[in-house]
Amino acid sequence: MTILVTGAAGFIGAYTCQALAACGERVVGLDNYNSYYDPQLKRDRVAALCPQVDIRTLDLTDREGLAALFEEVQPTAVIHLAAQAGVRYSLENPHAYVDSNLAGFVNMLELCRHRGVRHLVYASSSSVYGDSATPPFSEDQRVDQPRSLYAATKAANELMAYTYAQLYGLPATGLRFFTVYGPWGRPDMAPLLFARAVLAGRSIEVFNQGRMRRDFTHVSDIVAGILGALSHSSTAPVPHQVFNLGNHTPVELEYFIGVIESAAGQPAQKIYKPMQPGDMVQTMADTSRAKAAFGYEPATPIESGLPPVVEWCRDYFGARA
């Protein structure tokens, strides 16, 4: 197959490109290398993980550029991971989410429809569950009470993909990722924020008095789920599926910080803060549907997954940690 991966320089995207290339697939990527976080980290990530992959610099809102890329590449399948990420940032810059996550997603749906793409696998998020879900979160629960605009755009993506599957027969699979971490991760997320601060002796802000629980999921388990979903086809009349990809083992934030402290060899300086707007108290994935469909079985506990993240931060950021 020829597989187009959007957001290919992103955290999950680069690991996905690496895994696909290792399987012998022809992979073409695209990324706009925006400044939401340091573009140099994205370039270094690509150089380290998937230097052999052809990654084009292109924005999801560039309809003509996207059309030309599809015409040139003729992708068999698309793994759509590009999006404006971040819950708290969506409170500050909502238009970035409308442009990338809504308009950009429609552009991808249209191109997949008209170019005969056999399967669109796209990134959703555990944040779609919002206030209405009860742990463990299952795909059958309601997702109509999001706590942030970011979550709302991801829930909208699922509705949009379903519509294209129903109207045009476009096979589409949405994957709800649960708090992904690993080396080369996003610097705006808690694993890297905390690891870097502890290594540098800086204080960290711990929200909700450290009582939040997250289903931290190692990137290797997420990538295994993406490849499994890519190979799985729906037999339903409407070829649209949604799966949770998580660790099914929520961890309290205080314990998570403790694992980082142990790996760093020094204590964290904690500043306790109240709950922040848009945050969820707990996430927990029911992964039984993904296991039944394509054998998804997360295998990395944080006790073994987090120490390499701390070491990577020490090596990559050094004095800048």
List active site positions: 150
| CA neighbor of 283 nearest in space, from 131, 157, 88 | 131
| Three-state secondary structure of 119-172 | EEEEEEEHHHHCCCCCCCECCCCCCCCCCCHHHHHHHHHHHHHHHHHHHHCCCE
Place of tokens 């400044």: 35
Measured between alpha carbons, how far is 206 from 190 in angstroms, rounded to an integer? 10
Give the Cβ contact number of residue 164 at 10 Å. 22
- For residue 121, give Cα distances in angstroms to 118, 173, 267: 10, 5, 41
236 CB burial (10 A radius; 0-12, 13-18, 19+): exposed
84, 223, 176, 11 alpha-carbon torsion, rounded to 10°: -20
212 CB burial (10 A radius; 0-12, 13-18, 19+): buried
Q: Which residues pair with 203 in a beta bridge?
A: 269
* Sign of the dihedral through C-alpha 205, 211, 213, 218: positive
